[in-house]
Structure 1
Amino acid sequence: MATVQFAEVKKSFGAFPVIKGVSIDIQDGEFVILVGPSGCGKSTLLRMLAGLENISGGEIRIGGRTVNNLPPKERDIAMVFQNYALYPHMTVAKNMAFSLMLGSAPQAEIDKRVNYAAGILGLTNLLDRYPRQLSGGQRQRVAMGRAIVRDPQVFLFDEPLSNLDAKLRVAMRAEIKELHHRLKTTTVYVTHDQIEAMTMADKIVVMHDGRVEQVGTPLELYDHPNNLFVAGFIGSPAMNMIKGRLDGENPAIFVASDGTRLPLGKAYPSAVGKALVYGLRPEYIRLQPNGFLAEVVVIEPTGYETQIVVNFGGSEMTCVFRERVEVRPGETISIEIDPVNVHLFDEASGERLKG
């Protein structure tokens, strides 16, 4: 196990910068997820850590050792890819043992490590099968087993669940997290799926346009997003955002673009006159007989909750209710907002106001 540090790391393809000075500290044994939309630079950052891409500036350190110029085989890392990359002509056992065989490890040591990894991953009864005889989830476990037998300092996962169906993704999320709890190996995991990030990570790094927007635990990012990008990216359904300004006489009241007056948990006198964004998570909206009236646009029952999109405050807003709601599009519902959980953002800079 080892720490991992990115220190002002940069990457350019020709004159086009894709990583713009990223600094991240990953502690020994942490499970860290790099998350962000396509093109944000997260996979490029992982490939630079693995030694598959050269860096244009800064330093990458594993266990305190600078690895900028080290080839992948000398970095003591193991990588699990999206496409499994198994050898079709080899059995599960030989796929898992391949790196050890290349290193001329003793056969007794190879068997010991393969059997250990197979036991952890539930592959013991599949060691004599070929990849074509396995399901997608089993193939991904073989790819993980191949990484485990190497006993690396750092595991790297590059969107490993993208090729699996929805139900299997949920099961594999739990398996990977349980595996980390057992092995306690430093893990860096890349995904564009913020649900994966929220459910699996000890720490999340949110990236956008080659930069780090925020680093924190899943709940820190959910409850205290630094800016509009993080607020909109983390959480499903996404945070509702309504444009407007503060009431000039009462800075604890937000006035939406259509004139709707919305409560705030505290006053923001320094923000009077600025263009602002009122941010509210869908679960902090309740049905209330004497509340605000909102026109129903879309109803999405999921079984355990009902998501309703409404026209409110000059924009569409999503509400999440645990109770069953008997309503149709075009009708109105009466809602109440929990002002304590409202976030206020500066529209120009995107930064969250601290009050």
Structure 2
Amino acid sequence: MAPVNIQNVQKRFGAVKVIHDISVDIGDGEFVVLVGPSGCGKSTLLRMIAGLEEVSDGQIRIGSREVSNLPARDRDIAMVFQNYGLYPHMTVADNMGFALKLRKADASETAGRVQKAAAILGLEKLLDRYPRQLSGGQRQRVAMGRALVRDPKVFLFDEPLSNLDAKLRVQMRGEIKAMHQRVGTTTIYVTHDQVEAMTMADKIVVLHDGLIEQVGAPLDLYDRPANLFVAGFIGSPSMNFIDGRIEEGSFRSDKGLILPLPQGLDLQHLGGKPIVYGIRPEHIRAAEGGIEGKAAMVEGTGSEIFVKIDCGGEQISCLFRERLQIRFGDMLGFAIDPASVHLFDKATGRRL
């Protein structure tokens, strides 16, 4: 295990800069998730940590060593890719132990490490099979086992669950988190799926256009997003954003909808200023006599019902946990929890 320190790292492809002066500290044994939309630079950053991409500027340290210019084989890391990359002519056991064989490790030591990794990942009964005889989830566990037997200082995961179906992704993210809790190795995990990030991470790094937008614990990002991008990216379904201004102690949208504000706000410097009002769908409840609108879309999943309500041209997304009978076109009332409201500066996007 080892901490990872990324200091003022930049990456350029020719004249195009794709990573802009990124700095982040990853503690020893932490599970850190790099999350963001496609093209934000998260996989490029991971590949620079792995030694698969050159660092244009800045430093990367693993433990006490600077590794910015070291080849990948000398960094004491293990990487699990989206593509399992298993050798089809080798058994599961041979695939898992291949890196140790290349190092000319003792055969009994290799067998012991393979057995230990197989026990952690539930692969004991599959060691004599070939990759073609395994399911997608089993192949991904073998790829994880191959990394695990190397006993590296840092695990790197590059969107390892993208090729799996939805149910298997849920199972596998639980297995990866459980493996980390048992082994305790520093782990850096890349995904575009914010649900994966929220459920697995000790710390999340949100990237956008090669820049860090916010770093923090999952609930910190959920409760106090630094800006509009983070607020819209973290949380599913996405936060409602409504443009307007504060007038006479309340928020008035550009289309005339009056919405409540949190208590204790200093409204003196906000009056008349263009503001974006944010509220998560799950922080809205059905309420007779509340704000009224017409159901413009209704989706039920059994445990909850997702409704878009048209309030005079403002579309408000609501997520109700009650078993409500709502049909398209119905008029219904709702109430917003003022304590859960977020306000953002429209010009800068920053949280107020």
TM-score, normalised to structure 2, is: 0.98
Matched to 1:8, the amino acid is: N
Amino acid across the alignment from 1:253: S
Task: Note the residue ranges of structure 1 that are not aligned, 5 or more in a row.
Answer: none
Counterpart position of 2:293: 294
Structure 1 partner of 2:257? 260
Instruction: State whether residues 242 and 314 of structure 1, in contact with CA within 8 Å, keep that contact through their aligned partners in structure 2.
Output: no
CA distance in structure 1 between the aligned counterparts of 2:75 and 2:314, rounded to whole angstroms: 51
CA apart distance, 1:312: 2.8
Task: Note the C-alpha offset of 1:313.
Answer: 6.3
Q: Is residue 292–residue 334 contact of structure 1 (8 Å, CA) maintained in 2?
A: yes
Deviation string 1:15-56 (CA, Å, 9 cap, x unpaired) is 111000110100000000000000000000000000000011
- Which moved further from structure 2: 266-275 or 56-65? 266-275
Aligned: 1:339 with 2:338: yes
8 Å CA contact 2:257, 2:314 repeated in 1 = no
SS in structure 1 opposite 2:99? helix
- Tell me the equivalent position of 2:160: 160
Alignment of 1:176-191 (within 5 A): 176-191=176-191
* 2:323 is equivalent to residue 310 of structure 1: no
Q: Give deviations 1:291-342, integer Å, cap 9, x for gaps.
A: 1111111111011111101113643221011112212222211111111110
Q: What is the rounded CA distance, in whole Å, between the counterparts of 1:124 and 1:339 in structure 2?
A: 53
Counterpart of 1:210, as a letter, is G
- 1:170-209, CA deviations, whole angstroms, 9 ceiling, x for partnerless residues? 0001100000000000000000000000000000000000
Matches within 5 A, 1:77-88: 77-88=77-88
Residue 273 of structure 1 and its aligned partner are, at CA, apart by 2.2
| SS of residue in 2 equivalent to 1:94 | helix
Q: 2:139 corresponds to which letter in structure 1?
A: R
Structure 1 contact 4–64 (Cα < 8 Å) conserved: no
Q: Distance in 2 between matches of 1:29 and 1:74?
A: 20
Give the aligned residue type for 1:337.
I
Compute the RMSD of aligned alpha carbons. 0.9
Residue matched to 1:20: 20
Deviation at 1:261, TM superposition (A): 1.4
Is 2:340 aligned against 1:351?
no
Q: Distance in 2 between matches of 1:128 and 1:313?
A: 65
SS of the residue corresponding to residue 327 of structure 1 reads coil
Secondary structure in 1 matching 2:170:
helix
The whole-number CA distance in structure 2 between the counterparts of 1:327 and 1:73 is 59
Instruction: Write the letter of the residue equivalent to 2:268.
Output: P
Does the CA-based 8 Å contact 2:18-2:41 persist in structure 1?
yes
State the AA in 2 paired with 1:51.
G
Aligned-partner SS, 2:269: helix
Which residue number in structure 2 is paired with residue 271 of structure 1?
Answer: 270
Q: Which residue identity is paired with 1:284?
A: H
Aligned residues: 350
> Do the aligned partners of 1:257 and 1:313 also contact (CA within 8 Å) in 2?
no
Query: Are the equivalent residues in 2 in contact too, given 1:256–1:313 (CA < 8 A)?
Result: no
| Residue of structure 1 equivalent to 2:246 | 246
Q: Which amino acid in 2 is paired with 1:98?
A: F
Residue 107 of structure 1 aligns to which amino acid in structure 2?
A
**Which blocks of at least 5 consecutive residues in structure 2 are unaligned?**
none
Q: 1:193 — aligned with what?
A: 193
Q: In structure 2, what is the equivalent of residue 283 of structure 1?
A: 282
- Give the letter for the 1:245 counterpart: R
SS of 1:167's equivalent in the other structure is helix
Secondary structure in structure 2 of the residue aligned to 1:270: coil
* CA distance in structure 2 between the partners assigned to 1:201 and 1:186 by the alignment: 12
Q: CA deviation at 1:350?
A: 0.2
Q: How does 1:119-268 map to 2 (within 5 A)?
A: 119-247=119-247, 250=248, 252-266=249-263, 267=265, 268=267
The correspondence of residues 18-167 of structure 1 with structure 2, limited to 5 A, is 18-167=18-167
- Larger displacement relative to structure 2 (211-220 or 268-277): 268-277
Deviations 1:253-297 (A, max 9, x none): 111011111110133321222211000011111111111111111
CA distance in 1, matches of 2:326, 2:42: 42
* Paired residue secondary structure (1:99): helix
SS state at 1:180 partner: helix
SS at match of 2:324: coil
Task: Give the secondary-structure state (helix, strand or coil) at the position aligned to 1:49.
Answer: helix
Comparing 209-218 with 257-266, greater Cα deviation is found at 257-266
Q: Distance in 2 between matches of 1:127 and 1:37?
A: 37
| Whole-angstrom distance in 2 between the partners of 1:313 and 1:236 | 25
Letter in 2 for 1:58: G
